[in-house]
Chains A and B, each alone.
Chain A
Amino acid sequence: MHDALHARGVCVERGGRRIVRGVDVDAAGGRVTAILGPNGAGKTTLLKALLGLVPSTGTIRIFGWTLGDLSARQRAQRLAYVPQQTQLSATLAVRDVVAQGRFAHRSSLARLDAGDRRRVSAAMRTAGVEAWAERTFPSLSGGEQRLVLIARAVCTGARILLLDEPTSSLDVAHRLHILDLLRRLASDGRAVVCVLHEIDDARQHTDDAVVLAGGSTVAHGPAAATLSADLVDRVWGVDMIEAGGIGFRLRQGVTS
């Protein structure tokens, strides 16, 4: 049985500098994997290497297929990406943004068929964005836009989702909605891999963690056990206080 995503010794070099140094990542269906590390650790670059968006060395396998052997469309049918900051500023309707997720499933000349339209609607329902279907993308708040981009990723039908800091710059409600949504997407059998900055979010809401520093793996394993006070001290240079403080959770029955 293959892991959904199996990467070994991934290295990325830019301008003669090695940004990612021999990192291993495994992501299985049904699990949420967090990639953490201080700023400049190489998290985003690693995520882009896993997507094939930046040249890398090492082995990356997607359901047993070597990433480099797959065409752009084949990759898009298996791997979906949610960027931290989208470049999309055109006045596209939310429904049309989500429908971009169907591009890899039909010829460039073909129109959306009834099956595509059903998948677009289903993806919008899953992410809770169907109420904004006819609104323009730029008119949404940052948190709402993030949900639309997740809906687009779901619409691709890919079984592996890679998200770059999906909760950054969001208020607490949007942050919790997105973390809850990621859990629901994984519970449907998808492998979810996300770059996170919040250590406590990773401990509470993800299953596995890969911790990077200086482009190398420092630790990996089950999130709660891996993200120990000792590791936090070593990697981030701060004390982790496990007692006291306040926390937030979604109200019962509230999804997105």
Chain B
Amino acid sequence: MHHAAAGTRRIPLAVAFAAGALATAIAVALGLLLGRGDLGDPALRETLLRLRLYRAAVAFGTGAALAVGGVLVQGLFRNPLASPSVLGATAGASLGGQLAMLLVATLGAGLGTAIAPEMFLPLGCMAGALLALVVLLTIVRGTRDLLVLLLCGFLLSSLCVSIGAFLTTVGQKSWELGRAMLAFTVGGVAGAGPRQVAVVWAIAGIGAVAAWAWARPLDVMLSGQEEAESLGVDTRVVRRWCVVWTALLSAGAVAVGGNIGFVGLVVPNAMRALVGVGHRALVPASALAGGVFLVLCDVAARMVPAHGELPLGVVTGLIGAPMFLIMLARSHLWGGGRA
């Protein structure tokens, strides 16, 4: 029988997506039913369910965006250890978000009413990610060397983190602002509303479709840049667009969820073990699994006894890091081959 898509699949595609749909349903149900607050109270039930639904929806969209971004950047670098942060997009988005928070706090009402105040953070993240991206693409213009791109991304990321740390220090002059910037840094989807749902779902949806459209060139690029070019892939165009979509996906995720690590690293690798290395299956599988993973992490963040809620970035780190180590030990990463 012929494989329509590239990659050796461990399980049939239909079974994988049926399992994905079931996992999504279970995760959303858990997201709605579990948490603080009594659903038995008729006065609170509707409000609680609505808030939890927004929260689950934002967590799902954020997880999907991070996972698809991971698929793109890992495919681009042919390296399962790569993540969107290597392009500097995550750090750029985070810096943009921090700057937006400072601006809102400093200028306040002076910013006018054209844009709702809660949209400044997402817009700041977008601007930060895109600016980082433009700087990156300007620096690496004309080069075909992925190592140069990787190193420039790393340097840009370090620069953004340093400036972000400086801004956080500046933000400490106000207790509320300092706390908000810290919460943004560790990540979370508490307090999500319909605007955040719309932002992250639009970006995750468009980004996933775009990533899926680049699946075939990315499959051929598994053979390396020179071989892909000899087979007819315009690697410069593929690289440029994959970088753009990775940056937008990262910005969307950071804007509504803050800094949430490991999703873009762990989920695509786990999905490769289930659906194979072909990007046509890997993109939708990772989007679904990333969404489910983050909804479940958010449920865990609500349920673990702590003073207040456990930050979502802490939960993904606690779950993601050991999962990644287990996968590394099992050498599922690209068939245990070279990174």
Contact = CB atoms under 8 A, between A and B. Distances in A.
Tell whether A pairs with B. yes
Interface of A: 48, 51-53, 71-73, 75-77, 79-81, 83, 86-93, 95-97, 99-101, 103-104, 108-109, 111-112, 117, 134, 136, 138, 152, 156
B338 interface: yes
Interface of B: 2-8, 78, 213-214, 216-217, 219-220, 222-227, 229-234, 276-278, 334-338
A72 B227 contact: no
Contact of A111 (B4, B219, B276, B277): B4
B335 A108 contact: no
A90 B234 contact: no
Contacts of A71: 234
Contact of B222 (A51, A53, A90, A108): A90
26 contacts: A52-B229, A53-B229, A53-B230, A72-B233, A75-B230, A75-B232, A76-B231, A79-B230, A87-B226, A87-B227, A88-B222, A89-B334, A90-B7, A91-B7, A91-B335, A91-B337, A92-B7, A92-B8, A92-B278, A96-B6, A100-B6, A100-B231, A103-B231, A111-B4, A136-B335, A138-B335
Contacts of B7: 90-93, 96
A53 B335 contact: no
A73 to B, nearest CB: 4
Contact of A103 (B5, B214, B232, B278): B232
Contacts of B214: 108
A73 B232 contact: yes
Instruction: Output the residue of A72, A79, A101, A134 with the most chain B CB within 10 A.
Output: A72
A88 B335 CA distance: 11
A175 to B, nearest CB: 22
Contacts of B6: 92, 96, 99-100
Contacts of A53: 226, 229-230
Given A103-B216, A108-B214, 7 more contacts: A53-B226, A87-B224, A88-B222, A91-B334, A101-B231, A103-B233, A136-B8
Given A72-B233, A87-B78, A104-B232, A92 B227 contact: no
A134 to B, nearest CB: 8
Contact of B232 (A48, A72, A86, A96): A72
A176 B213 CA distance: 42
B213 A108 contact: yes
A118 B234 CA distance: 26
A95 B224 contact: no
Nearest to A93: B8
A93 B3 contact: yes
Contact of A138 (B5, B219, B337): B337
B230 A81 contact: yes
A134 B8 CA distance: 8
Contact of A108 (B2, B216, B225, B277): B216
A76 B232 contact: yes
A88 B224 contact: yes
Contacts of A100: 6, 219-220, 223, 231
Contacts of B216: 103, 108-109
A91 B231 contact: no
Given A96-B278, A111-B4, A89 B230 contact: no
A119 to B, nearest CB: 12
Given A100-B220, A108-B217, A91 B232 contact: no
Contacts of B337: 89-91, 138
Contacts of A88: 222-224, 227
B178 to A, nearest CB: 46
B223 A86 contact: yes
Contacts of A108: 213-214, 216-217
